[in-house]
Structure formats: C-alpha cells, structure tokens
Amino acid sequence: MNPIVIIGSGLAGYGLLRELNQRHCPHPRLLITADGGESYYKPALSSALGQKKTPADLAMAQSSTMAQELNAEILTHTRVTGIDPANHRLTLASGETRPYGKLVLALGSSPIRLPLTGDGANDVLSVNNLDDYTRFRERLTHARKVAIIGPGLIGSEFANDLLQSQRDVTIIGPDPWPISTLIPQTAGEAVRQAMAAKGAVWHLETFNGAIEKTAPGYRTTLKNGTVVEADLVLSAVGIRPEIQLATQAGLKTQRGIVTDALLQTSDPDIYAVGDCAEVEGRNLPFVQPLMIGIRALASTLMGQPREVRYPAMPVAIKTTLHPIITLPPQTKEGNWTFDGTPATGILGRFIDPNGKLAGFVLTGSRTPEKTMLMQALAA
C-alpha cells in the first residue's frame, strides 16, 4: 500500500499526522520536510523574546520523537522538488523518488521580500520559521536599535516583543496605519500610541527601499528625509502562500493552491491544507482555519469525506502593550462606529447596510467584550 505523504512539518503537517494517528489510520504515513522537523508553535516566534524563551525552548519535540509518537516515517532536511501526479511519485532534492497514494501539501507560506536596494539589503532578516528565529536571536545579541520594515500584524508583534526586551524600535512602512489590512484606523492609532508611549518610533507612508551599511550597522533615508539608524533590520511586509511546487506539477493555483471544500486540489489524489491552500477562494493564513482544515481532511483521507466549514474566526493580535482582537468585515459595504478611547481601549463595530453587525475590532481594555460581540454576530 502506497503511503499517505504529507509535505511540511508546520502546524498543518504535524497536526494532520496527529489527527490520522488518533483515528488509527490504517495507511502508512510519510512526512517530508525541508526544515529540521522540530515541532513548534509558529505564533510564538513573535512573543518569545519578551517571555525570555530561546529557540531551543520553542522546539517542543524533535522529529525522532514525533515519528515515534505519531507512528510515521519522517524525512527532515529533505526538499521535495517535483511531483509527478500521473505516476504518483515525488522527486526529492537528492534525485531520489518516492511513491505516494494520497499526497497532502502543507507547504506553508514564505515572507515577501521587497526589492530592497543598497549594500545592506542582503542583511535584512525575515522571521518565518525556527531557523530564521535562531538567526534573529544570534544577531540580536549585539543589537540595541532595531528597525522593522512593515507595520502589519507580524511587524507590530515583533515591535511589541522587542520593546519588552528593552530594544529601541523604529517601525517603517508604506502603510497608512499599523495593521491596516486587518483593523480600521482608529484601532491602529490606539496601538501606535501604546507602543510610542514605550519608546517605539513610527515612520509610516515614507519608506524608499534602500538599506545602506554603516560602520556600526545600517541606515535608511526615508522619502521625507528622515535618517533611521539601526543595528539590525527586520522585514515583515507580508507572506505569500508557497505554490511553486504545485504550479510546476500542473495543479491549479491562484493566490494559493486552489482547493474545494474537501481541500482537494485539481488532482483528485492531492490535497492542500494550511497557509498554502486557497479553500474555495479564501487563503486564511491563521491557526484556527488550519485546525478546522486538518480535522476535516483526516476524516476525508480515512474514507469519510468532510467539507471544511469556517465559523466567524476573530484574529487575536499579540501586541500585549495594547492587545487587539479583530473580525475584519468581509464586505466594504457598511460603516464603522467606535466607543472608547485609544488610550484605554476601543470597541469598533462594522455595521452593514441592513443594520447588522458584520465585523468588529476590540483593543486594550475592551478585548474581554469578544464573547458579547460573537453572540451578537451569531444572533
């Protein structure tokens, strides 16, 4: 019997393996991963510094333990370079090939790299996995001043974490306000003020893309003429689903690897789950949709097809200096109304043209009101 092969050892890949094991899946399982295969909780990468957790602390289990516990073969540091759907075979970077019965792509997403210029551009770090985080922590040992390019969710969380560990933080970006793709300006302003009160310097709508090396570190001159000096530059300008392998194999891809509600790709024996998947037109790179996906997929792979159905899924943003919970509206038709103040906390409701609650944002002291808003939404 050819195995179920899962590519990727992130929360999606290991989560699916765990589900299959718990359900006593009779098929052999093989997981292949390009990285070291440590089991870790990726969202912790942007809050570990303040909690004084080292990269080793974040790795909850090594791949050998995972293989034993989950009754699977695991190949680490092994990149899959090709999929041959007609013959149900994978090609590995070594040139070796492996057969599969069903294949699951849990390939995650990669950080978007801006086309930066200047002789310091190649030293700019992104943190999207444990290896990146290890490099980041090594470079931080000698860094006091950190510049973050990208005031989105991940950039703001790293800024929050660095502030907690007494670094001087400057956040730069083309965005009009922090986390602007997920929260309205009033809420973004509350976060900006809370971090500024702890020393963060924000330069929004003014990045010009050049990073120069200086004797002590790096320098970028913004469009408005401001010069920012830093010992370390972090880029957090967004992520892009990992689709290259699927595209090369002839699978249908758009923003992500296109699947139906069963997480089945355009090939009936290949599935996609987690950050790399675009499920019925939606790419949702967060933990909750991924957990819903792996449970449904485990059932499907064991012969009981189960479609993914997403409830309303608020996103909690770990800016602990001013925490946020948001349920971005799925429509532009409507208006925001706000209660509260940026200094303490904001409650924002997005009301659609029928007068119904269609999204919300809670910041600071107002975050405990999530349950009430979820109930209002359900009603």
Ligand X SMILES: Cc1cc2nc3c(=O)[nH]c(=O)nc-3n(C[C@H](O)[C@H](O)[C@H](O)COP(=O)(O)OP(=O)(O)OC[C@H]3O[C@@H](n4cnc5c(N)ncnc54)[C@H](O)[C@@H]3O)c2cc1C
**Interface residues toward ligand X, by CB under 6 A:** 7-13, 32-35, 42-43, 45-46, 79-80, 106-109, 127-128, 154, 242, 245, 274-275, 285-288, 290, 318
Residue 339: other Cβ atoms inside 10 A:
11
Q: Which CB, 325 or 358, lies closer to ligand X?
A: 325
Q: Which CB, 127 or 179, lies closer to ligand X?
A: 127
Least Å from the CB of residue 14 to ligand X: 8
Least Å from the CB of residue 49 to ligand X: 11
Nearest CA to 298 out of 26, 8, 1 is that of: 26
362: helix, coil or strand? Answer: strand
Q: Where are the alpha helices (DSSP H) in 23-152?
A: 55-58, 63-69, 130-140
Q: How do beta strands 29-32 and 97-99 pair?
A: unpaired
Least Å from the CB of residue 46 to ligand X: 4
- Tokens coding 120: 């310091």
Tell me the C-alpha distance between 377 and 5, whole Å.
39
Rounded to 10 degrees, the C-alpha dihedral 230/236/237/240 comes to: 150
Q: Which CB, 118 or 239, lies closer to ligand X?
A: 239
Least Å from the CB of residue 16 to ligand X: 9
Nearest CA to 361 out of 181, 238, 139, 236 is that of: 181
Nearest CA to 28 out of 76, 71, 85 is that of: 71
Q: Which CB, 81 or 185, lies closer to ligand X?
A: 81
Least Å from the CB of residue 212 to ligand X: 27
Least Å from the CB of residue 308 to ligand X: 14
Q: Which CB, 213 or 240, lies closer to ligand X?
A: 240
Q: Which CB, 25 or 153, lies closer to ligand X?
A: 153
Q: Where are the alpha helices (DSSP H) in 6-107?
A: 11-22, 55-58, 63-69
